[in-house]
Amino acid sequence: MSVLVVGVSHKTAPVPVLERLTLDADGLDKLLHALSTAEHVVEATVLATCNRVEIYAEVNRFHGSVESVSRMLCALPEQGPTSPDEPWGAEALAASEEIVPHLYVHYDDGAVSHLFNVVSGLDSMVVGESQILGQTRNALRLGQEAGTVGPALNELFQQALRVGKRVHAETDIDHAAPSLVSVALERAAAHVGAVRGKRVVVIGAGSMAGLAVATLTRLGAADVVVASRTLANAEHLADLYAARAVPLPEVDIEIGTADVLVSCTGATGVVLPLSRIVAARAADPERTLAVVDLALPHDVDPAVARLPGIALVDLASLAEQLNEDPDAGDVAAVREVVAQEIAAFLAARHAASVTPTLVALRTMATGVVDAEMARLLQRLPELEPRQRAEVEHAVRRVADKLLHQPTVRVKELANETGAVSYATALAELFSLDPDAVEAVTRPEEV
């Protein structure tokens, strides 16, 4: 079995393409269910954030699984096939042609390396950001709850989460790498001035909105208003930071007197159309306002950027700025930690891959010794118990010595690059029973 990653991110696709692949909770459930029925896919989960959608799968065949997994990912924008065998419609085919050029594929060792880099923040829009750690944890939880994550992906993701925690515990990346919210607010400040003393409206009550309110409070915003479709959620977030909460339908009044508007909901459509912004600002249509849209797909109609007094900061513009300096922050220590963890995990993984063959080899040797001892005792029944024990001990020592060097070398060679499967070669040389090898890792029947 091997790990496969098929995905698209801010590094390979423009924001409009990422917006088309946005998944809500129902969409994630449907995708996980479809993946569970895909041919060659044994386990699967999805890592979906505002700037990436990645499918992680444990597969038993490379080419067939790449085709089926890619097919389902490309079908997302047009509600296409829910299984790899369902025929494509014209809209799904058009979506596929748009998305395929932006896909990337990582396999086996490359998939492990990619996930460890992702969870450490090295592949993020803002290098070193910590939100990806929680998003990776959520991807594991979703797969576990859906029953699509088994031992292979569970081990991989658990280790990835440990790597992410180690990165933040042992390096200064938390201080060196700003959050996406911080970068966006810096851009907003260039238009309206420092956040301190300003009036700010935050639409949304999720993790991104929470980070925004926390950052605004730390920067000294004079008045922070939180609005959400669910007033209770807005009130809970507002209470944490001594902010005010209002129902979403009443937010227009607050927008009319705000200096900064931050929107980061989980909606699948535009929350603030151009007409609503114009109406909210009717009393003072040229008032300076920085609109920070951190949602994917976007919450605010991009046309607001043409209104007088308004500056729009969205993910597309942030991606352009951040991609100019992908190594922003002190990430050298993070890269070193990640490289160590990748090497250690792969070494352990490769060593474990030959364990079934080595167990089968030792089992075969034990069987040979037992058979030869039984034959010897039939020929020499007069041997005393002490003599039998000495002979058996000597024979087993000979078998152990003969197997020691091949066992050590196979473990060493398992970590070397190349196309040779030394475990397979060992099984062929000693004519090991394939069923005996498989039985070592086969789960016990309940």
Return the exposure string of 20-54: e unless at least 16 CB atoms fall within 10 Å of the residue's CB, then b: bbbeeeebbebbbebbeebebbbbbbbbbbbbbbb
C-alpha 66/C-alpha 58 separation (Å) is: 11
C-alpha 141/C-alpha 20 separation (Å) is: 24
Q: Is 42 helix (H, G, I), strand (E, B) or coil?
A: strand
Residues 6+ apart with CB under 8 A from 320: none
Kindly state the tokens that stand for 292. 């920070």
C-alpha 262/C-alpha 271 separation (Å) is: 12
| Bigger pLDDT: 95 vs 62 | 62
Place of tokens 């951040």: 322
> What is the per-residue pLDDT across 323-341, written as a single tens digit (0 to 9) for each?
655 444 467 788 889 999 9
Kindly state the tokens that stand for 347. 């070494």
* Arithmetic mean of pLDDT, 88-116: 80
Residues 6+ apart with CB under 8 A from 329: 127, 128, 173, 176, 177, 178
C-alpha 82/C-alpha 250 separation (Å) is: 39
What single string gives the DSSP state of each residue in 406-429?
HHHHHHHHTTS-SS--HHHHHHHH
Place of tokens 């075969």: 364
Residue 435, pLDDT > 90, answer no
Residue 156, CB half-sphere, CA atoms under 13 Å: how many?
33
The CA-CA-CA angle for residues 204, 299, 182, to 5°, reads 65
- For the chain, give the mean pLDDT: 84
Axis-axis angle for helices 180-192, 207-218 (nearest 10): 50
DSSP structural state of residue 444: P
Just list the catalytic residues. 50
C-alpha 59/C-alpha 127 separation (Å) is: 30
DSSP structural state of residue 430: T
Q: What is the pLDDT at residue 428?
A: 66
> What is the per-residue pLDDT across 120-174, written as a single tens digit (0 to 9) for each?
988 887 777 788 999 999 999 999 999 999 999 999 999 999 999 999 888 877 7
Q: What is the pLDDT at residue 145?
A: 94
**Of the candidates 330, 223, 314, 222, the residue with the CA atom closest to the CA atom of residue 263:** 314
Kindly state the tokens that stand for 174. 């938390």
Q: How many CB atoms lie within 10 A of CB 122?
A: 20
C-alpha 132/C-alpha 436 separation (Å) is: 42
Kindly state the tokens that stand for 118. 């992702």
CA dihedral sign of residues 297, 47, 35, 38 = positive
Q: What is the pLDDT at residue 429?
A: 60
DSSP structural state of residue 266: -
At residue 49 the predicted structure's pLDDT band, cuts being 50, 70 and 90, is confident
* Arithmetic mean of pLDDT, 317-325: 69
Q: What is the pLDDT at residue 15?
A: 83
> Backbone phi, then psi, for 47, in 5-degree steps?
-105, 105
Place of tokens 């929470």: 210
Q: What is the pLDDT at residue 10?
A: 87
C-alpha 84/C-alpha 81 separation (Å) is: 7
